[in-house]
Amino acid sequence: MAPPTPPRLPTLPLTTPTKKTSRNIAVIGAGAAGLVAARELRREGHKVVIFERDFMLGGTWVFDPRVERDQLGLDPSRSVVHSSLYYSLRTNLPREVMGFRDYPFVVVKGPGRDARRFPGHREVLRYLCGFAEEFRAVGLIRFRTEVVRVGLVEGGKWEVKSRRRDGGDEDVVVDVNEVYDGVVVCNGHYTEPRAAEFPGIDMWPGVQIHSHNYRIPEPFRDQVVVVIGSSASAIDISRDIAGVAKEVHVASRSITKETASEQLDNKNIWLHPMIERALDDGTVIFGNESSADVDAILHCTGYKYHFPFLETSNIVNVDDNCVGPLYQHIFPPLLAPWLSFVGLPWKVIPFPLFELQSKWVAGVLSGRIQLPSQEEMMAKVEEFYLKLEAAGVPKRYTHNMSDYQFDYNDWLAGECEFPASEEWRKQMYTATGKNRIARPETYRDEWEDQHLVLQAQEDFLHCSL
Ligand code: FAD
């Protein structure tokens, strides 16, 4: 295929470092990323509209009891439910670590509030609503308004086509086309399921569900269930289901074929290597040849990046779950800074990372922070891809930052002249990871890093908005 032709885009004026140029910016999504992006863009003096297809802000953190018709999420024409939260979900990070740098996730006392260190999902939504009110982001949001197309137009600007539904009985739909100087994509990446594949699955007669469509354990009462995966969701959901199911079998790539299947502490949970094959009589055979007669398979196997609205003539693509080419996981070099992505990295502490990405995007768009030339950015991206390839990292792990999120954050902070990550946050993140492995059942209620909690609380006292 011929390489994409670079579009003619406006060049950023040569400004003095303190002079800022205000732009008209469209932000897609009013989840944590879109809200903090909007705040930073406004702080920098830009005019901002946030498009949100839901009727409320919060994205992932808006629990939705509905599930999709196609519970594996393979049918592209299905009516999409955005959030993947299950009813019992508590955060897998402590609140001190999780919150934005200048709007800490502190305990708020009052009726119905959740003061736990690893609170339930409703408390996170309250926190995000508080954030949006504090920084007057709510008035910027166009609710029930889905962005259906983003494409380049004359003069290097972006045409944003949006579709507003009034949600009433008649469901009136209004389409609007508008032109913006720049677009910041914050549409989240935990909605488009990725299912596991293995021999025999097409003929296997049981029920299959992706964790995106898991809400409560009740449908699995007295059943034999296989949960595929080893992520935080797989661990939580297998425990949730074990409370009502007859047996839960967890199949995971992190367990080698040579390992014998193991029963967890007299519970009805077994750990196995990944599934080898499935048979048309309902049997599921694991990598070590142990087997079970199974009623349901739950795929906790992750998600795909998905930008159905984006038309960039192949300048930005998703290839094996790598969004690219992107400079620093944010700017496509040929379209920078007029198109950017906030929130792509995974295996990270999301909110503070989104905050730093947003500061950088806002500063670059105003001309206060300079980007390298297109050629230099492209060369850096190539260098990064080659480094991953040489290390044997699959393409789909391009945005996995488990090994270097703090280096990345500190690089962004340096670009924005913002303080580097706090030492306590780094240590607490590591301590939580270790505690989760040592106490998978109870890490949310038992910990040994109380001294770090005190340091964080001390820090929050000096935090100015
Ligand atoms: P989202 O929250 O998904 O928001 C995207 C928004 O964009 C949504 O409101 C959506 O409606 C909107 N949108 C999408 N497409 C369009 C469109 N075309 N037009 C208009 N609007 C659109 N993080 C933590 O920090 N701690 C945790 O404990 C934690 N647990 C998690 C558990 C689960 C099960 C999952 C799935 C995620 C968890 N996360 C956790 C990660 C979580 O996703 C992030 O914290 C964060 O909420 C992501 O924010 P976002 O804004 O990038 O995306």
Centroid of ligand 1 to alpha carbon of 307 (angstroms): 14
Confidence band (pLDDT; 50, 70, 90) for 1?
very low
Could you give the CA distance from residue 403 to residue 310 in angstroms, rounded to a whole number?
30
Could you give the CA distance from residue 63 to residue 73 in angstroms, rounded to a whole number?
18
Could you give the CA distance from residue 130 to residue 61 in angstroms, rounded to a whole number?
13
Express each pLDDT in 345-355 by its tens digit: 999 999 999 99
Helix (H) or strand (E) holding 152: strand 145-153
Query: To which residue do tokens 């699959």 refer?
Result: 394
Share of the chain above pLDDT 90, in %: 89
The residues lining ligand 1, judged by C-beta closer than 6 Å to any ligand atom, are 28-34, 51-54, 59-61, 82, 84-85, 91-93, 98, 146-147, 186-188, 190, 233, 309, 343, 350-351
| DSSP for residue 6 | P
What integer is the mean pLDDT of 182-207? 97
State yes or no: ipTM above 0.95: yes
In this structure, of 259-273, 313-327, 422-436, the range with the lowest mean pLDDT score is: 259-273
Give the pLDDT confidence score for residue 7 in this predicted structure: 62
Give the pLDDT confidence score for residue 265 in this predicted structure: 78
pLDDT at 137 over 60: yes
Give the pLDDT confidence score for residue 15 in this predicted structure: 46
- Residue with the smallest CA separation from ligand 1 atom 14 is 187
Give the pLDDT confidence score for residue 112 in this predicted structure: 92
Which 3 state secondary structure label does DSSP give 228?
strand
Share of the chain above pLDDT 70, in %: 95
Give the pLDDT confidence score for residue 401 in this predicted structure: 97
pLDDT at 13 over 80: no
Q: Where are the alpha helices (DSSP H) in 6-45?
A: 32-43
Mutation pick for ligand 1 pocket among 190, 300, 349 (CB with most ligand atoms within 8 Å): 190
Centroid of ligand 1 to alpha carbon of 30 (angstroms): 9
Centroid of ligand 1 to alpha carbon of 60 (angstroms): 4
What integer is the mean pLDDT of 131-159? 96
Could you give the CA distance from residue 59 to residue 38 in angstroms, rounded to a whole number?
15
Give the pLDDT confidence score for residue 277 in this predicted structure: 97
What integer is the mean pLDDT of 309-322? 96
Mutation pick for ligand 1 pocket among 187, 311, 330 (CB with most ligand atoms within 8 Å): 187
Query: To which residue do tokens 């040592």 refer?
Result: 438
What integer is the mean pLDDT of 441-458? 97
Q: How far apart are the first and last CA of the chain?
A: 50
- Residue with the smallest CA separation from ligand 1 atom 23 is 350
